[in-house]
Structure 1
């Protein structure tokens, strides 16, 4: 239960913050157009690595819509992103000439005219395994797909069937999930460990990923970027509790990440071969993220062992107390923002890497 509490959050953004934030994001999001672009929209599925605030609007403790989260976002207000600023879909959207922030589908401040060029269905705390989403009561992946189906209907009503089908077909879909399946579920809760060895659980997740991606294909998606898991043994929280190894990276977790990512890569090859017209990209950033963590000064960072928020060793979500005297003054010096999630600077570096090495074919 200890990790579950650490990996959860409470508190909501105040009404004043919400009112002040909305105009900032509206002005940012209406400054660009999708007309004539090869990628007319960015559509996002997954977990907290890509959630732009959907959890704000469901009954869960897994939220980050309060300070100091968002302090480096537009206007300096928390949005539900687990970051001090923007997250990868935001940077990727901007790089493709679209909006500099991708809105959360459940956010009532937005409507279908906003979502037509970018929408996020992701939910912090979710995974491929429905048992993972049950841990913190968040949106399971199947429900994200149901919201996407609802979005398609709204889009067709808004721009017409032909235009909507074009957007659906030409949009770039970003999928990022898997870390919670291991850290929040398999290694924390007993059920799956009794049912599977870790290798068997990896295969179980691959089967679920296969079904999910085929489902997206059947709904019209053709350009999909699939991101695996990072060096999860090097997350500050995992290093904090790795006392016996002098707070080094937990190599067991990193090895699982490598093995799982390898299986995802094989799945990508399989689906591209079996599904006509599918352009599924194996957007594996494991090695690049590990470089940042092991050689932080090379990328302009001063610390990769702890996060900026609080002591940086175990805080995430509600434990990132806005009144903590330990929170760092400059998140750009830290690879991680909290004990799990990267800083906005790291997210931008990783996004640039993925664009240059994996997504440039869509530009």
Structure 2
């Protein structure tokens, strides 16, 4: 056997091993089931009466077919990428999307609603689906799944699936820092504790419903969102470090919660998918990721637009979203979502395969 042939075999073997690590066999994780807000909503808000929608151009312009789906992005969101990394489908459908049925949902489904939060008041701000309603829809899903594949198979899917939860930023930016009534009721530390308790109650409920693999989310550096930079006049539109510090503090409390939950519930595996540091690194060193603009968004002027404001004049949007960290003033681009998702999968979520 020649050296060249041996070298080819060696490279092929390494490629197969690497690919298997990043995209493992899907049978080990039968489905990805998603809860949360606009960071992972794939179209549920299309079907409810709210002003917070994204089922119009320029949203979805880089999605397959160039169509807006209700994702708050130019393309795919983290729930899509993570599903693919688990060896499942490349896009995860929204539960309220009439174009999909239980046969589609059996391998992955999204209950997330853009604009929602752990606190019920957060959902009320923009009249979106409260977090408890997502859980109620999941219970309905379980019944439909049992009717579709049988009780035994349904229970296997429910137990072995990975449950992704991405939520919390709206609780601070749309609720605590926006509503005087909330700040009158809580100090920021008390509000953090209130949200952590809501996260605990969610996990406890999901555990009783059969979930065993749960990924809770940390909060991104919310003070660096383009909208928060725009209104941070006193600091010359730099990141609002007060908000970032609150995010760090909250994430620390969530880490403690995860440790507690893993010690209290038999067979439960909870992880904290914390995007804070990878996003902060991307903002500080964008060239490492092929990104050029981090302080402004792609759509509109890049300073404050989101949802319908992005749709007023699509021609204002940047020509190449891949050069931008943020798609609108609140949400990352598809490229940023992919980088963040791959990082979280390689460093943490891959453990759910074993």
TM-score normalized with structure 2 length? 0.92
| C-alpha separation in 1, matches of 2:308 and 2:191 | 30
Residue by residue, what CA displacement relative to the aligned partner does 1:71-118 show, whole Å, maximum 9, x if unpaired? 011100000000000000100111111110000000110000000000
Query: Residue 255 of structure 1 corresponds to which residue in structure 2?
Result: 245
| C-alpha separation in 2, matches of 1:36 and 1:299 | 28
Residue 306 (str. 1) matches residue 257 (str. 2): no
Aligned match for 2:49, one of 59, 75, 78: 59
User: What runs of 5+ residues in structure 2 fail to find an aligned partner?
Assistant: 1-23
Structure 1's 36 and 122: CA in aligned 2 closer, same or farther, altered over 3 A? closer
Matched-pair contact (CA < 8 Å) for 1:67–1:322 = no
| C-alpha separation in 2, matches of 1:321 and 1:222 | 40
1:176-195 aligned at under 5 Å gives the runs 176-195=166-185
| C-alpha separation in 1, matches of 2:316 and 2:148 | 48
Aligned CA RMSD, in angstroms, stands at: 1.1
Query: Residue 228 of structure 2 corresponds to which residue in structure 1?
Result: 238
Query: Residue 111 of structure 1 corresponds to which residue in structure 2?
Result: 101
| C-alpha separation in 2, matches of 1:112 and 1:321 | 32
| C-alpha separation in 2, matches of 1:76 and 1:290 | 30
Residue 40 (str. 1) matches residue 30 (str. 2): yes
How many Å apart are 1:323 and its aligned residue?
2.5
Query: Residue 171 of structure 1 corresponds to which residue in structure 2?
Result: 161
Query: 4+ residue runs of structure 1 moved beyond 4 angstroms?
Result: none
Matched-pair contact (CA < 8 Å) for 2:229–2:239 = yes
SS at match of 1:319: helix
SS at match of 2:315: coil
Query: Residue 77 of structure 2 corresponds to which residue in structure 1?
Result: 87
Aligned match for 1:354, one of 344, 348, 351: 344
| C-alpha separation in 2, matches of 1:231 and 1:35 | 33
How many Å apart are 1:157 and its aligned residue?
0.2
Matched-pair contact (CA < 8 Å) for 1:121–1:147 = yes
Residue by residue, what CA displacement relative to the aligned partner does 1:285-310 show, whole Å, maximum 9, x if unpaired? 21111001111111100100000001
User: Between Structure 1 and Structure 2, how many residues are aligned?
Assistant: 330
TM-score normalized with structure 1 length? 0.90
Residue 279 (str. 1) matches residue 262 (str. 2): no
Residue by residue, what CA displacement relative to the aligned partner does 1:190-222 show, whole Å, maximum 9, x if unpaired? 111000100111011111111011111111000
Find the structure with the greater CA-based Rg: 2
